Amino acid sequence: MSDWKTLVTTCSGLLSAGTEPSSPSRSSKVVHIIIDGISQEFFMHTRMRTCRRLMREGISFSDCTTIWPSLTGPAHTAINSGSPPAVNGVNRNFFISEGSRHVVNPLKESRVESIAEILGSHGLRTAGICGQMNRGLQYYVSEAYLGHHAEHITRAAIDAWNRYSPQYLQVVYFAVDTIQHAFGPHSSEAAETAHWVDEQIGLLLDQIQDEHVVVLISADHGQASAAVHAEEIDSLLAGSSAVIESHGRFLLYHTDSPTVDQELAGRLEQLSCVQQVIKPSDAISCFPDDYAVVLTDGYSHYQQNDVYYRWNHGGLSNLEMQVPLIISGSCITPHVVSDAVSVLDIAPTICELLHITPPETMQGQILTNRTELPEEHVARS
């Protein structure tokens, strides 16, 4: 095992399992695998044999977009709820609660039901390994317990499948994201990690020999260069009364004056390090009280005591926003979909595959109804 794999291993954690619901008369099962932190470009340029096989055997979506902000917490919540941050309320990875001043995990504070809660309310068994939005799962092994070690995650997933027999199993592999933060998506370390994770996915699927299983492969975001601190922004905001909150590839600000906020936005938009200033009233915004300054690829913004990454996510570049999506199974006709789809479409599609009507809170579409292309158009590895 390569030395870099020690970067994706942790030692402490928690194992939890809930009460098993009554078994419904269902035949379909879904295994949803999220490979954290890989863009569509990275995926297509990295020869992940298992995932390429699933592409050939299933539906491959060539234009799938994640939500903004392209952060892990908001993206996982959107994937697991079918709702954007403006609806579910999860627009950060974490925040400091007022009064207690404790760090709060916003994933537990989503205003909408998770896919696990919805499936559980219909009597289906659900299990999750290493995922971010664990609310509602009856069987769960946490990221804190397993760390980011792909082999440990695979063993826990196989154990959950054999012991609990869930109708819905979600497995999240974080290792590629972890390594890319340190070495970048174009590094040999990132490619080697992707091959390792792909191998583990293959081992997991070898243990799931069930013709009724549909496998989804997705990602929450990609990675972009963030090596240069956007000093121009510090200089511009230094003389203002703006309150700043940095998130690496974007930052938030507000003052006590709407007029000053708008003036600052106009000046910030002229900077070469700024891709876009998102106003609170913009459709894409999920920050009702703040202006969001999204940075150009290559730039980042940090404040004192923030964790610094040379490669990061949270912005609007294609490297951060375009992600892979595959649906494969014996009931799926192989084809490619080139129309634009979203990670918001994943949860309602899972509901459809498990014969459940998606709730109104889910804003995505059912992807298994997409127009088909001939099988020979599927990318070959």
Whole-angstrom distance, CA of residue 296 vs CA of residue 250: 9
Q: Average pLDDT in the 314-318 region?
A: 97
Whole-angstrom distance, CA of residue 221 vs CA of residue 324: 9
55-75 per-position pLDDT tens digit: 999 999 999 999 999 999 999
Pick from 49-53, 98-102, 236-240, 342-346: least confident: 98-102
218-267 per-position pLDDT tens digit: 999 999 999 999 999 999 999 899 999 999 999 999 999 999 999 999 99
324-351 per-position pLDDT tens digit: 999 999 888 999 999 999 999 999 999 9
Whole-angstrom distance, CA of residue 202 vs CA of residue 217: 12
CB neighbour list of residue 188: distance below 8 Å, 6 or more residues apart = none
Among 226, 221, 223, 224, which Cα is nearest to 69's? Answer: 221
Banded model confidence at residue 6, pLDDT cuts 50, 70, 90? very low
pLDDT, residue 331, reads: 85
Q: Average pLDDT in the 312-330 region?
A: 96
193-230 per-position pLDDT tens digit: 999 999 999 999 999 988 889 999 999 999 999 999 99
Residue ranges per structural domain of the chain: 3-224+316-377, 228-308
pLDDT of 35 higher than 50: yes
Q: Do residues 226 and 312 touch, judged by C-beta distance below 8 A?
A: yes
pLDDT, residue 100, reads: 52
pLDDT, residue 10, reads: 35
DSSP 193-205: HHHHHHHHHHHHH
Average pLDDT, the chain: 88
Among 34, 60, 113, 51, which Cα is nearest to 372's? Answer: 60
pLDDT of 27 higher than 70: no
Higher pLDDT, 355 or 106: 355
The pTM of the full predicted model, rounded to 2 decimals, is 0.89
Terminus-to-terminus CA distance in the chain, angstroms? 26
pLDDT, residue 3, reads: 45
Bridge partners (DSSP) of residue 278 are 292
Q: What dotted CATH number matches 3-224+316-377? A: 3.40.720.10
**From the DSSP assignment, how many helices (H) and strands (E) are in the chain?**
13, 20
Banded model confidence at residue 51, pLDDT cuts 50, 70, 90? very high
Instruction: For residue 377, give the 3-state DSSP assignment.
Output: helix
User: Structure tokens of 359?
Assistant: 């709730």
CB neighbour list of residue 292: distance below 8 Å, 6 or more residues apart = 69, 250, 251, 252, 277, 278, 285
pLDDT, residue 104, reads: 56
107-165 per-position pLDDT tens digit: 677 899 999 999 999 999 999 999 877 889 999 999 988 999 999 999 999 999 999 99
Fold of 228-308: Gyrase A; domain 2 (3.30.1360)
- Tell me the chain's radius of gyration from C-alpha atoms: 21
Bridge partners (DSSP) of residue 64 are 323, 341
DSSP code at position 355: T
Chain Cα centroid distance, residue 245: 22
Higher pLDDT, 96 or 364: 364
Q: Which residue has the tokens 């579910």?
A: 88
Residue 178 is which amino acid? Answer: T
pLDDT, residue 262, reads: 97
| C-alpha dihedral sign at 274, 280, 286, 291 | positive
